């Protein structure tokens, strides 16, 4: 199957080629109408001229049939010219069909653009907002809302990705770390006060008893700073008076 000549598709091209039937089915009596029709639709003078040319044999035939006897050689000559013009017009119509379809597609696109500009011009003249403007504003509001949601999502993700230093963070900050919670935060604070500070992420997980898979989930959210370890206060011995 042949490919479509235009972007409109084969169905559109077939529907806009029905004018060719005037050249085939009318036996030359209306073949010239086909060329007048396509010339009008795409504003082409050259096809208007063709319509005039193909109408001449028909006009001569009609005049001859009323004034000259059918047995006269001139009548046969004009009838022959009329028949040849009919056949040629059929082939000619099929030949110019691709150009006509391409011109029609381009003309319709320009015509549609002109109509849209005219609609906007009239709306501005009367100080009205057309339907297109409402749709445009609605689209803009929707885009802004989506942009706002996207920024909020990015902000939340950025907040979650802020690393918490387990050696300096407060209990509330530690409890906000995913997969830990309040109870584990209290344990972290208690353990930190006991050992002074954590040496690494692995050391942190080991000291508070995190399972390996939980530690891997916590790892992207924490950091362990290098701080001077504070040794637990030595138990004060009983003072003996001498």
Return the domain boundaries, the chain: 10-125, 130-155, 164-223
Top-level class of domain 164-223: mainly alpha
Share of the chain above pLDDT 70, in %: 81
Per 3-state DSSP, what percentage of the chain is helix, strand, and coil (rounded to 5)? 70, 0, 30
**pLDDT the model gives residue 236:** 41
Nearest alpha carbon to residue 207 among 184, 181, 235: 184
Q: Are residues 82 and 28 in contact, defined by beta-carbon separation less than 8 angstroms? A: yes
Query: Dihedral (C-alpha) 36, 39, 43, 47: value to the nearest 10 degrees?
Result: -110
The model's pLDDT over 187-226, given as tens digits with 9 standing for 90+, comes to 888 888 888 888 888 888 888 888 888 888 888 888 888 7
pTM: 0.46
**b/e code 124-148 from CB counts within 10 Å (16+ = b):** eeeeeeeeeeeeeeeeeeeeeeeee
């Amino acid at each position: 199957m042949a490919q479509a000549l235009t972007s409109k598709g084969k169905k559109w091209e077939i529907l806009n080629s029905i004018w060719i039937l005037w050249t085939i089915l009318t036996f030359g009596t209306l073949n010239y109408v086909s060329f007048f029709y396509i010339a009008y639709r795409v504003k082409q003078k050259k096809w208007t001229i063709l319509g005039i040319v193909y109408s001449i044999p028909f006009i001569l035939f009609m005049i001859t049939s009323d004034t000259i006897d059918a047995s006269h050689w001139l009548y046969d000559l004009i009838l022959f010219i009329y028949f040849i013009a009919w056949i040629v017009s059929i082939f000619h119509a099929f030949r110019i069909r691709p150009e006509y379809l391409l011109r029609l597609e381009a003309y319709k696109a320009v015509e549609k653009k002109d109509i849209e500009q005219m609609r906007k011009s009239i709306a501005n003249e009367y100080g009205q907002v057309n339907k297109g403007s409402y749709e445009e504003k609605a689209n803009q509001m929707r885009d802004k809302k989506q942009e706002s949601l996207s920024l909020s999502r990015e902000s939340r993700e950025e907040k979650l990705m802020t690393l918490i230093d387990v050696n300096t963070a407060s209990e509330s900050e530690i409890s906000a770390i995913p997969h830990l919670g309040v109870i584990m935060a209290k344990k972290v604070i208690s353990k930190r006060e006991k050992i002074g500070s954590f040496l690494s992420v692995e050391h942190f997980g080991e000291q508070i008893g995190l399972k390996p898979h939980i530690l891997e989930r916590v790892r992207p959210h924490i950091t362990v700073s290098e701080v001077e370890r504070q040794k637990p206060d030595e138990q004060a011995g009983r003072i003996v008076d001498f």
